[in-house]
Amino acid sequence: MSVPITTNEKAAKPEPVAQPKPKNKKPLGLTQLQNGAGREAKRLAAVILEVLGGARSPTDAAAALTVSLPRYYLLEARALAGLLQACEPRPVGRVRSAEHELTTARKQIERLQQECARSQALARVAQRTVGLLPPPPPKAGAGGKKRKRKPTVRALKVVEVLQSDVPGEAEAVSAGEQPAKE
């Protein structure tokens, strides 16, 4: 026979205590540092960090790296610039590359060409149902050469227009005088 549990007995039961997660021996950041860079880059970064931390002087660091002091300062500036760049927030979501943009543009061109061909076919069918003749095909020689345009000076055209409207005023304007006001 089971005995019903009252609310007081429910409260008396201890709840299970959450076990703390075991801590990793090495932080995640250190494992990433060990994998990516070369030996010389790691040595350079360690020396620069020692200088920034105050454990070494810049002169000692330059001697340890076997570079001149100005070269050390240049390397330090590059390292700090890289640090700042790495601290910039990264864009959220997918980063579009130039190749992806090119592929997307090519797909869009192909789709638009198909749509254009479809629209042209529909226009031809509509013309046939109405009874219109299709436009004549372009002549082979017409598309190749264009007639050379005779060059004209725009200022001379403007002068001709001005002279044809009012003969007296156009001559005065061309001579640089103010036209007579009535």
Which pLDDT tens digit goes with each residue over 97-137? 889 999 999 999 999 999 999 999 999 899 888 888 777 77
Same domain? For 81 and 40 the reply is yes
- Domain membership of residue 27 (yes or no) is no
Q: Is 23 left (phi over 0), alpha (psi -120 to 50) or beta?
A: beta
Q: What is the mean pLDDT of residues 17-21?
A: 63
Average pLDDT, the chain: 78
- pLDDT tops 70 at residue 11: no
> Is 168 domain-assigned?
no
Instruction: Identify the domain containing residue 105 by its residue range.
Output: 101-132
The answer on 78 and 46 residing in a single domain is yes
Predicted local distance difference test score (pLDDT) of residue 31: 64
Q: Are residues 76 and 47 part of one domain?
A: yes
Among the candidates 86, 119, 152, a domain finishes at: 86
Within this chain, do residues 41 and 76 fall inside the same structural domain, yes or no?
yes
Positive or negative CA dihedral for 89, 94, 98, 101? negative
pLDDT at 175 over 70: no
Claim to verify: residue 82 and residue 105 sit in the same structural domain: no
Q: Which helix (H) or strand (E) holds 47?
A: helix 39-53
pLDDT digits (tens, 9 = 90+) for 69-105: 999 999 999 999 998 998 899 888 888 888 999 999 9
How many domains are there within the chain? 2
Residue 175 lies in a domain: no
Q: Are 50 and 15 in contact (CB under 8 A)?
A: no
Query: Tokens 């200088």, residue?
Result: 51
The answer to the question of residue 159 being in a domain is no
Count other C-beta atoms under 10 Å from residue 48's C-beta. 21
Q: What are phi and psi of 109, to 5 degrees?
A: -60, -45
- The pLDDT score that the predictor gives to residue 180 is 52
Buried/exposed code over 72-105 (b: 16+ C-beta within 10 A; e: otherwise): beebbeebeeeeeeeeeeeeeeeeeeeeeeeeee
User: pLDDT over 70 for what percent of the chain?
Assistant: 64
Residue 155: inside a domain: no
pLDDT at residue number 34:
65
Query: Looking at residues 58-67, what average pLDDT do you find?
Result: 93
Q: Is residue 152 part of a domain?
A: no
Please indicate, yes or no, if residue 172 is contained in any of the structural domains: no
One domain, residues 108 and 82? no
Is residue 95 a part of any domain in this protein? no
Q: What pLDDT score was predicted for residue 170?
A: 46
In this prediction, residue 74 carries a pLDDT of 94
